[in-house]
Amino acid sequence: MIRWMMVTLVTVHYSLFTASAQDEKTVMFNPVEHAVISQTIAPDARGAGMGDVGAATDPDVNSQYWNPAKYPFCISRAGIALNYTPWLRQLVNDIDLAYLAGYYRIGDYSAISGSVRYFSLGEVIASDGMTVKPYEMSIDAAYSMMLSEKLSLAAGIRWIYSDLRYDYSEDSKPASAFAADLAMYYNNYLMLGSRECQLGIGLNLSNIGSKISYYGDDESQFLPANMRLGVSLMVPVDEYNRFSISADANKLLVPTVPRQEEGESNSDYQDRVRREYSDISAISGMLKSFSDAPGGFSEEMREIQWSIGAEYVYHDQFSLRAGYHHQDESKGNLKYFTVGGGFKMNVFSLDVGYVISTARSNPLDQTLRFSLTFDMDGIKDLFKR
């Protein structure tokens, strides 16, 4: 039971531990709270190796998470990727994230894609002595289409399932919900001096859907609806070398829990929380999330997480990556550098990403991610030989 409480608190509110480690100054800690934290974890080594960027980077098999509108611009006809992340290894040794993604281009202008995400919290000893294995998972599919040679759109649907029970009482039950994604990707070439560079701009609205509940509608929680906006620039150095730099801005479209005002009784405060937060719909919460921060516009800006990353590619085979991710300390204090690399053959590619935290006592420090990607065109060519 003790271990279950620790794992749940770290997983659902792991940012609290990083923010509370600040001893240099007092921070008004006011994170944006939501359910199904596993949906916000970057699943692949390439994006994670560049500081968690991916809205506008060069398309790859794992674009389903970052921006599914990129798939029609993929060179290969189809691909599939297996991703694995040992999660929070600084605290426990059996929390894992597995992610399977794939796509298939239909003709020259559209694609279908999908992914399966499984997040295991390991084994937990419940209050009655039983061993339970809480987990979260999701299955999604998307359709993307080019509107022109430079612009594409995508729409997706996701089923989310979460079973975090440590007992099997009648009051508790697994939770499930449906959500949708809407995405846009712009890809163009421009001349910088004598070099033809590639410019990408991406927007992904993800997890737009219903609320989710473990104990009935009276205690429903918001899904991690999210808006991700990114830009990327690829510069070819010569025939064999190219360099790209990318940046993402990321904002949760989830309302902030109201603060208790000075002189306000606990009962009045709970009634106000119910009216202004708990009882509002998911769509109302998304709209409210742009203007409800107690600190006004400055606090709304602090809710934006930003990432910047760079990638160097040699001969389209070897890759080196680095990046930085920033979250304001009042909203979670997730600040870390990332590094990574990859090796690509005709049939498959292997990528690794690594997190180096800049905040003390961050359980994400030293997190490793592994990605194995298969190119279906390469496999087909292999069997033709």
By percentage, how much of the chain surpasses pLDDT 90? Answer: 65
Instruction: Give the C-alpha separation, 202 to 68, whole Å.
Output: 10
Instruction: Give the C-alpha separation, 169 to 30, whole Å.
Output: 32
pLDDT at 215 over 80: no
**Full residue range of the structural domain in which residue 355 is found:** 2-251+301-384
pLDDT tens per residue, range 128-164: 677 788 999 999 999 999 999 999 999 999 999 999 8
194 falls within a domain? yes
275 falls within a domain? no
pLDDT level of residue 218 (50, 70, 90 thresholds): low
229 falls within a domain? yes
265 falls within a domain? no
Mean pLDDT of 14-30: 52
pTM of the model: 0.91
Instruction: Give the C-alpha separation, 96 to 86, whole Å.
Output: 5
Residues whose CB is less than 8 angstroms from the CB of residue 296 and which lie 6 or more positions away in sequence, other chains included:
none
Q: State the amino acid at position 17 in one-letter form.
A: F
Say if CB 341 and CB 315 are below 8 A apart.
no
The per-residue pLDDT for 193 is 87
For residue 246, what is the domain's CATH number?
Answer: 2.40.160.40
The structure tokens listed for 343 are: 């090796």
266 falls within a domain? no
264 falls within a domain? no
Cβ count within 10 A of residue 20: 12
pLDDT tens per residue, range 53-111: 999 999 999 999 999 999 999 999 999 999 999 988 878 888 999 999 999 999 999 99
Tell me how many domains the chain contains. 1
Mean pLDDT of 222-231: 97
The per-residue pLDDT for 217 is 58
Phi then psi dihedrals of residue 366, to 5 deg: 70, 20
Mean pLDDT, the chain, whole residue set: 88
259 falls within a domain? no
Alpha carbon 80 to chain centroid, angstroms:
19
